[in-house]
Structure 1
Amino acid sequence: MRRVKARRISSEQLRAARALLRWEQRELAERSGVSHPTIARLELQPGPLKGYQRTVDLLREAFEREGLVFLMPGEDGGEGVRFGYDFIAE
């Protein structure tokens, strides 16, 4: 499997997304299928996530299932993460 520098999600966005959902790293691991040690390692490295594209995709998909949207630099005020417009709080 090929390793890529995933420009679509940064470690800062990863931590912010977890905070929005009030998830610990272990909960993200359970919901995404990515190991807890991998998540901890990815969050420690500043900037774009450096890992397998499939790993990054699994993390993104776990957050998107919960209604989060990742913003890219230059989009809606800059890089970040927020709830989507269709989000309905439970």
Structure 2
Amino acid sequence: MSNQPHPSNDDSQSHHLNFFFRLAVVVATVFVVTILAFVAAIFGDPTSPAIRIINHYGGQMILWEVVALLVVVVLAMVVDQWRNRKPRETLTERPTSKH
């Protein structure tokens, strides 16, 4: 165990991981499994039903997985920026200079 303090948020709220980041991990995992299935299809029996599916639909699967991953990652970043934005200073909150 470390004796170092945990990083805290400025407003002292606990930091919750964005749902879309978790979803991005799932989509990326599916993408990696599909790529590994492509590699296995190269060395496998071409008459196998799983390999026939990969050979027939594999390109479409990769395409849709890449699109899904891009959408989920962009949404994760947008939500993260939205959560972490600070309110802008209004004209009444600006410090006044004394001359």
Same fold (TM over 0.5): no
State TM-score, norm by structure 2. Answer: 0.25
- Which one has the bigger helix percentage? 2
Query: Higher Cα Rg: structure 1 or 2?
Result: 2
